[in-house]
Structures are given as C-alpha cells and as structure tokens.
C-alpha cells in the first residue's frame, strides 16, 4: 500500500492541467454549433486526465491509484482523437495540432511511466 502525495506536486498532473487550460482557450473559438459536440467532448476528455490523476491520489492503495492512472491514459487517447478531428474539420491549424499532439504524447508517456512505478510497489 502506498499513500500518494498531493496530486498537485506530480509533474504529470501539472502538465495535464496546463493542457486543459490550453484546450479551453482554443475551443472558445470553435463554431458555436459545436458547443454541445466537439467542444464539449474535447473539454470533457482533456479535463478527465488531471481529474483522474487527482482522484487516484486520493485512494489509499497502489492498485486503486494504478486504475485511475489508466483511466487518465484512456482519456489522453480520447483527447488525441478529438484534437485530430478538430484539425480535420479545420477548427485548428496543422501547427496547433502538432503542438497539442506532442503535449498529449508527453502526458501519455509520463502516465505509462508512473503506472509502471505504482504497479511495481507492493
């Protein structure tokens, strides 16, 4: 069993939180008819990344934490799709897409590393 520190001290949470802020700013310029479509879905999936990290840190066992980190990883993959769709619909530029995708890939790599560390602790 492990007891996690404050989630705000985790580099992966901080990076994911910054990504949420970027996505919220970016999607504020999406077409109004997408408010309940892509805008909502993208915001929900990206916010789910740091929120699942935070929730997992509130659990008091390694398996529980690993599960929530896996949920965060799934949300990162979902976010990656919504960003791709946003580019393909020309709501964001190729340059914005590439920058966001790079950030998502970094968050995913950090999550995979943290999941491995958490699972290795008994």
Structure tokens at 102: 């790079």
Provide the pLDDT for residue 4.
Answer: 57
Would you say residue 36 has pLDDT above 80? yes
Handedness of CA 115, 43, 96, 18 (dihedral sign): negative
pTM of this prediction exceeds 0.75: yes
Structure tokens at 49: 């990344």
Provide the pLDDT for residue 59.
Answer: 86
Q: How many whole angstroms separate alpha carbon 65 and alpha carbon 114?
A: 10
The label of the residue with tokens 């949920």 reads: 71
Q: How many whole angstroms separate alpha carbon 82 and alpha carbon 77?
A: 9
Structure tokens at 112: 């995979």
- Contact criterion met (CB below 8 Å) for 81 and 63: no
Q: How many whole angstroms separate alpha carbon 4 and alpha carbon 96?
A: 34
What pLDDT digit, counting tens, does each position of 60-117 carry? 888 999 999 999 999 999 999 999 999 999 999 999 999 999 999 999 999 999 999 9
Q: What is the mean pLDDT of residues 41-51?
A: 98
């Amino acid at each position: 069993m492990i007891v996690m520190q404050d989630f705000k001290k985790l580099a992966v949470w901080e990076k994911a939180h910054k990504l949420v802020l970027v996505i919220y700013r970016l999607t504020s310029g999406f077409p109004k008819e997408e408010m309940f479509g892509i805008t909502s879905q993208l915001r929900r999936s990206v916010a789910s990344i740091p929120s699942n990290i935070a929730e997992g840190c509130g659990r008091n066992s390694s398996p529980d934490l690993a599960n929530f980190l896996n949920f965060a990883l799934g949300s990162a993959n979902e976010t990656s799709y919504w960003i791709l769709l946003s580019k393909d619909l020309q709501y964001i530029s190729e340059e914005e897409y590439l920058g966001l995708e790079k950030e998502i890939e970094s968050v995913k790599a950090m999550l995979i590393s943290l999941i491995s560390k958490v699972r290795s602790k008994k």
